Structure 1
């Protein structure tokens, strides 16, 4: 779990580093979010992983890269501490260890929101096939009634949207496109130029 998180965090951090200063306000495939908002969401989710342990994110700078690196360090400190990583906590998906919670939520989010950030800023949006396969396996095993709840805006708190309505894709669509459609992304999303 720890190694998977680090690999995904490395990939997400590389995407942040490749964003030009003039791209942070670009729209993203998440309708209400800019590229900056995508990174802030990931930072906020790192904080959500710490809350059940009675911890908070450390203070950090204002820039997206600084904020992500600081949040990442906070979560890695938990994953590196066997006692903290093994501590059980209550989550919206039930009781699990802190390490499992990180693995199932923020770690799993990194490749998907990495796609959002890449699409918003003109980067390669290919998701690691290992992450696509694992993501599809976990998403498609979510019971229908739970998935329905995940698609309701605000079901897990004000302003919290887990998944959008499913986007239908062609029967011969790639595994990545099927995964993206399932979680409510249009795999063919293209940033519209302002004009």
Structure 2
């Protein structure tokens, strides 16, 4: 199996890249708008904090009802950097322990193969890395491997793309690059 045969192998590096972006956000940029409607920079980070707090539970196969709503609400907004560090301190190591993952894993979309859950997490990290960069005025380049993997997943028309309000309606891509296509398919204008 190659390093990219399973998206789980790509997640630790994607988490690290997102961490670099979070740490680069200036104090005056946390409330700046992003391409995510109604989500300023701090809310993009809070969204990913919530996902990464959930990840260890999901990967262990815990039912959603058991976890409850402990990772809901505005609890991550006050200290986005500290919240992100806390969330990934638990999430990142779980992605490298692939032999311990439940399969399927419980998600809000119903049970999913752990490999598809990893694709969703990689997609979210990749696209929201760009959202964060755009909102905070950071370099907007993305990892080529992560973009190509996320684009392949989006092209497969996964069920998560049909959910209400998860992503914006597709727009015309700004160019022919895979990054441009990925962002355009998810309603982002470059």
Retained in 1: the 8 A contact 2:34–2:131?
Answer: yes
Residue 128 (structure 2) aligns with: 113
Retained in 2: the 8 A contact 1:5–1:107?
Answer: yes
* Pairwise CA RMSD: 2.7
- Count how many residue pairs are aligned between Structure 1 and Structure 2: 172
> Is residue 21 of structure 2 the alignment partner of residue 18 of structure 1?
no
Retained in 2: the 8 A contact 1:49–1:106?
Answer: no
> Is residue 107 of structure 2 the alignment partner of residue 79 of structure 1?
no
More strand by share: 1
Flag the 1:23–1:142 CA change in 2: closer, same or farther, 3 A.
Answer: same
* C-alpha separation in 2, matches of 1:140 and 1:38: 24
Flag the 1:30–1:60 CA change in 2: closer, same or farther, 3 A.
Answer: closer
Q: Please report the TM-score for the alignment, with normalisation by the length of structure 1.
A: 0.75
**Helix, strand or coil: the match of 2:118?**
helix
Retained in 2: the 8 A contact 1:49–1:101?
Answer: no
Higher relative contact order (CA 8 A, sep 6+): 2
Flag the 1:86–1:33 CA change in 2: closer, same or farther, 3 A.
Answer: same
Residue 79 (structure 2) aligns with: 63
> Is residue 139 of structure 2 the alignment partner of residue 133 of structure 1?
no
Q: Please report the TM-score for the alignment, with normalisation by the length of structure 2.
A: 0.77
